Amino acid sequence: MQSNWEIVASVADMIHPVYRELIYKAAQGDIIHNDDTVMKILDQMNLQYEERKGRSGMFTSGFMSIAGDTRIALFLTDHNHVGENMADILAKRSAALGPPIQMCDGLSRNTPKDFKTILANCLAHARRKFVEVDRSFPQECRYVLKTLEKVYENDAYTKDMHMSPEQRIKYHQENSSKPMGDLKTWLVAQIDDKKVEPNSGLGQAISYMLKHFKELTLFLRVPKAPLDNNLCEQVLKRAILRRKNSLFYKTCHDAYIGDLFMSIIHTCSLCKANPFKYLKTLQQHSSSVTKNPEKWMPWNYEEMLSTAAE
């Protein structure tokens, strides 16, 4: 009798073409969010120092790719930082497409080295740095947080009004440009006029925001540019919860299978597809799935079922 793990692994063998196709589809996205978290893999941890090649740490990279109304969640676990995995994904991008908008925080390891993206940095990440020092610098932080609150209110209004990307950017330019411009002037003055100690918590928060201000305000210049990376952080919570529940993977292959199922199941939830029904369908039609995985995506597989029934 097969163990539960053997059953899971055998299913993965049948449906892995869908996972590879999801990666290809994600590479074509208009917007790609990315972030990563540490992961434990036992056989890598047990290697002696001399046996390890290159980087010893293991990471799960999380991606949210958006193209029109389609959203794809991806997980990749290996030695790579998320920017390196982003480069591997973008290598599959059609040459006919321009660079995608990339949303991440300001760490240099988050960006691909060999592929161009339109970089946006996470406004919520910058905001969090001021929240962390609010008790020590209440007056200064209040001004920053109130300014960012206004920007988020403006963005919420564009969603409530179902604005197009062009209408959204125009609205932000009319209503968010001045508050953000005033904020930058204030941030510069705090440093130039020596009103804040550069190495203090507030000084470091200000320095971070000034260093990444261009990327933090991409939403004022590029249609569709998001304000923050919250979507990807929600994706990555799945990997973090899995790590808390089961602590580790045994091998890199086990991690691959875990990534495969998490990517497919979470993409199903984003597409409002029933993951149990979807996975069952993929197994029932595994031969067709292997030949034409692009026709068996979570958002279009029911069309194939309808065709088969006719």
Are residues 35 and 229 in contact, defined by beta-carbon separation less than 8 angstroms?
A: yes
Q: Which two tokens stand for residue 136?
A: 């020590």
Q: Is the pLDDT of residue 309 over 80?
A: no
Q: What is the pLDDT of residue 57?
A: 83
Neighbours of 24 (CB within 10 A): 15
State how far the alpha carbon of 150 is from the alpha carbons of 118, 172, 214, 249, in Å: 25, 11, 18, 43
Q: Which two tokens stand for residue 216?
A: 């933090």
Could you list the beta-strand ranges (E) of the chain: 31-38, 59-67, 70-78, 101-104, 118-121
Distance CA 176, CA 170 (A): 10
Q: Is the pLDDT of residue 265 over 60?
A: yes
Q: What is the pLDDT of residue 49?
A: 53
The letter for the amino acid at 55 is R
What pTM value is reported for the model?
0.93
Over residues 40-63, mean pLDDT: 76
Over residues 146-161, mean pLDDT: 98
Neighbours of 132 (CB within 10 A): 14
CA-closest candidate to residue 305, choices 293, 292, 295: 295
Q: Which helix (H) or strand (E) holds 6?
A: helix 4-27
Q: Is the pLDDT of residue 132 over 90?
A: yes
Domain ranges of the chain: 4-121+229-309, 123-216
Question: In the structure, what pLDDT confidence band is assigned to residue 247 with cuts at 50, 70 and 90?
Answer: confident
Scan for tokens 């046996």, then name that residue: 51
Question: In the structure, what pLDDT confidence band is assigned to residue 307 with cuts at 50, 70 and 90?
Answer: confident
Distance CA 147, CA 127 (A): 10
List all residues 6 or more positions away from 146 whose beta carbon is below 8 Å from its beta carbon: none
Q: What is the pLDDT of residue 245?
A: 83
Q: What is the pLDDT of residue 189?
A: 97
Are residues 143 and 132 in contact, defined by beta-carbon separation less than 8 angstroms?
A: no
Over residues 37-48, mean pLDDT: 80
CA distance from start to end of the chain:
37
State how far the alpha carbon of 2 is from the alpha carbons of 6, 12, 256, 284, in Å: 6, 15, 20, 19
Q: What is the pLDDT of residue 51?
A: 57
Residue 102, classed as helix, strand or coil, is strand
> pLDDT of 43-53, one tens digit each?
877 765 555 56
